[in-house]
Structure 1
């Protein structure tokens, strides 16, 4: 019987992260998922993963609070040993995030710093902390956004941080290549419920007509792509940005 590989997924309690976690489990991958405040929802995802025959654990983590990262990874090490009987995991998926709608003229420094800490600084240093526990030959997947290619009023800070993550990912691919670790970006677009756009009927109609496929995305449209990039079929994909937007603003 083969030993399951393990993914560490941030922001896995709901929305896109929940679907990613379940799609990973369907591929036979065990999951350590994090949540910021929705413990009950996170434990619900754990139960669904276990029902699929895989192991899962939910841990609290605020990815904007870098001072907690050392203690968090100490907890990850403990969980790896006690639950998974190993000292390494195979896939790091930086998904946790939040949204902000603000025109440039109205952006405050505090709002900007929130976006910086959650979407770039947190991703950078969480990844740095994860590297000693990430198995050679593993994968790093950073979740970006279609808004780094197509511009929308009010999402300048969010998109700028996601753009920084995309550049960071290419450098990860370059520097971690000697360890056999691939790093890629998945950039969802046209997604509501946790993304950068306000979820209103008017916005859904607007975005739906921008997509070549004529609709907005559902979480189920995204998770399978993330899971695919954790399979052997994607072993030669490295340093790439894969947009999953249904063809928005082609």
Structure 2
């Protein structure tokens, strides 16, 4: 039985990934932060597809809570699937905020690093004993960490995402002894609630972004979710240590 843990799956890319994985027959343990309603909505959508899912609360910025979360994962695996291990992990939870370099506070910088880089590092470390051999991990980075994605106002955010991209390669190297594959995806502009739901609040930005994208539109959560599901499935069995841009050719 394939079982995936997807963090930050109450909306956006995490939700899209959880649903696409369920379509492929994965059981899903998904996490939510402040949006419990969204997490339960994701569970409901998966159940409508005939799948099984469990929603658990998790703040990836609070690493001291990870051992207790592992206990909840162990309980969910046993009670829902009669399993002792899961097979895939998607480190997706995070947040985004624009802040020009000269205006970025040390507090905001630390929050980016704690949530985007430290969180996936120590959550993966905590859950690793429960991850089955020959499993797979996908980390969500960002096109803002790529040379083509540099925009004013994202220096701290992109630096944390860039760190996660480097971490992905090291995870792939060290976990390969257990046959565990590790890759990252770098979404371009995607219609999610990230950045304080910017696309809904400022729809005027959609046209210029679509015009700068080779495929002529803004990305949707399911576009990214499909790639995550592919990387965690049999089709991705010979891919590891890679960072894959999923942007529809933004700024191509």
Q: Give 1:5-154 correspondences, 5 Å limit.
A: 5-149=2-146, 150-154=149-153
The separation in 2 between residues aligned to 1:82 and 1:209, in whole angstroms, is 49
**Pairwise CA distance, 1:196:** 5.0
Corresponding residue for residue 217 of structure 2: 215
Contact kept, 8 Å, 1:98 with 1:194, in 2: the verdict is: no
* Deviations 1:61-99 (CA, angstroms, capped at 9, x unpaired): 000011111111111111111111111000000010111
The separation in 2 between residues aligned to 1:20 and 1:62, in whole angstroms, is 19
The separation in 1 between residues aligned to 2:150 and 2:205, in whole angstroms, is 15
**Pairwise CA distance, 1:203:** 2.2
After TM superposition, the score normalised by the length of structure 2 is 0.95
Corresponding residue for residue 191 of structure 1: 190
Does residue 1:155 correspond to 2:154, yes or no? yes
Q: Which runs of 5+ in 1 are unaligned?
A: none
Corresponding residue for residue 174 of structure 1: 173
**Pairwise CA distance, 1:206:** 2.2
**Cα RMSD, aligned residues only:** 1.2
The separation in 1 between residues aligned to 2:156 and 2:34, in whole angstroms, is 24
4+ residue segments displaced more than 3 Å: 194-198
After TM superposition, the score normalised by the length of structure 1 is 0.96
Q: Residue 123 and residue 241 in structure 1: after superposition, are their counterparts in 2 closer, same or farther (change >3 A)?
A: same
Partner of 1:130, secondary structure, is: helix
Q: Please, which moves more after superposition, 137-146 or 40-49?
A: 40-49
**Pairwise CA distance, 1:194:** 3.2
Q: Which runs of 5+ in 2 are unaligned?
A: none
* Deviations 1:6-28 (CA, angstroms, capped at 9, x unpaired): 00000011111111111000000
* Deviations 1:116-135 (CA, angstroms, capped at 9, x unpaired): 11100111111111110000
The separation in 1 between residues aligned to 2:27 and 2:136, in whole angstroms, is 14
Corresponding residue for residue 237 of structure 1: 239
**Pairwise CA distance, 1:201:** 2.4
**Structure with higher helix content:** 2
Contact kept, 8 Å, 2:11 with 2:193, in 1: the verdict is: no
**Pairwise CA distance, 1:238:** 0.5
**Pairwise CA distance, 1:205:** 2.0
The separation in 2 between residues aligned to 1:158 and 1:215, in whole angstroms, is 24
Contact kept, 8 Å, 1:155 with 1:196, in 2: the verdict is: no
